[in-house]
């Protein structure tokens, strides 16, 4: 059983879509420890609506916060403080896909960030969306992970193909680029299934 942590180079880069694809490809369980806002149709609900296999289990959030803000601020509005010891990965014999919130250094409280959710045995996938400045953001994310002694299993890109971006991230970042998704405004189960088939061989052999 593997735990695969999905982080991104920022907000709105496609973490939830990638999490759904990995969940579908591996017939894995899915867990988002912290949801901030959109509780009426959360990221867990989205992933559940896109995944069609009958083996995946969708585990509840450790924290479900009302306001779409940084978790530390959303928690303050709700009158609580996020505590790491209350965020425990669900027990499962299946592979588990774990989706972060925002980027790697998004604060959970006055001292902890999303990065503190990543355990030593987690496989890490970084999601990058092609835009001006994304090379810098991607390499900074990889450097932050390495500074903690974390090994990154790969990068998945979103958006229009930019070969020069993908190749320089692979070279300077020292990580494999596992694939790229065409950004789909109307995401659905069929799109997730298509990319799950394409990426399954690489995902099954994550290091």
Known catalytic residues are 32
Distance CA 187, CA 89 (A): 28
By C-alpha distance, which of 199, 130, 196 is closest to 163?
A: 130
Going from the C-alpha of 50 to that of each of 33, 90, 116, 166, the distances in angstroms are: 19, 21, 28, 27
- Does residue 19 contact residue 127 with C-beta atoms inside 8 Å? no
Q: Which helix (H) or strand (E) holds 31?
A: strand 29-31
Do you know the residue count of the chain? 207
């Amino acid at each position: 059983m593997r735990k695969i942590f999905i982080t991104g180079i920022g907000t709105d880069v496609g973490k939830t879509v990638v999490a759904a694809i990995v969940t579908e490809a591996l017939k894995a369980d899915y867990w988002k420890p912290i949801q901030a806002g959109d509780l009426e149709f959360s990221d867990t609900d989205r992933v559940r609506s896109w995944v069609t296999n009958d083996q995946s289990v969708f585990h509840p959030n450790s924290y479900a916060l009302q306001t779409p803000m940084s978790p530390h601020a959303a928690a303050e509005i709700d009158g609580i403080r996020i505590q790491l010891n209350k965020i425990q990965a669900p027990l499962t014999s299946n592979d588990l896909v774990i989706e972060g919130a925002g980027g790697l250094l998004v604060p959970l409280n006055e001292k902890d960030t999303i990065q503190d959710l990543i355990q030593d045995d987690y496989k890490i996938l970084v999601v990058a969306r092609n835009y001006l400045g994304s090379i810098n953001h991607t390499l900074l994310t990889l450097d932050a992970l390495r500074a903690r002694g974390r090994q990154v299993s790969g990068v998945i890109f979103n958006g229009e193909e930019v070969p020069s971006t993908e190749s320089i991230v692979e070279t300077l970042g020292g990580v494999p680029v596992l694939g790229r998704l065409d950004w789909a405004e109307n995401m659905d189960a069929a799109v997730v299934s298509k990319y799950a088939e394409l990426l399954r061989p690489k995902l099954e052999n994550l290091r």
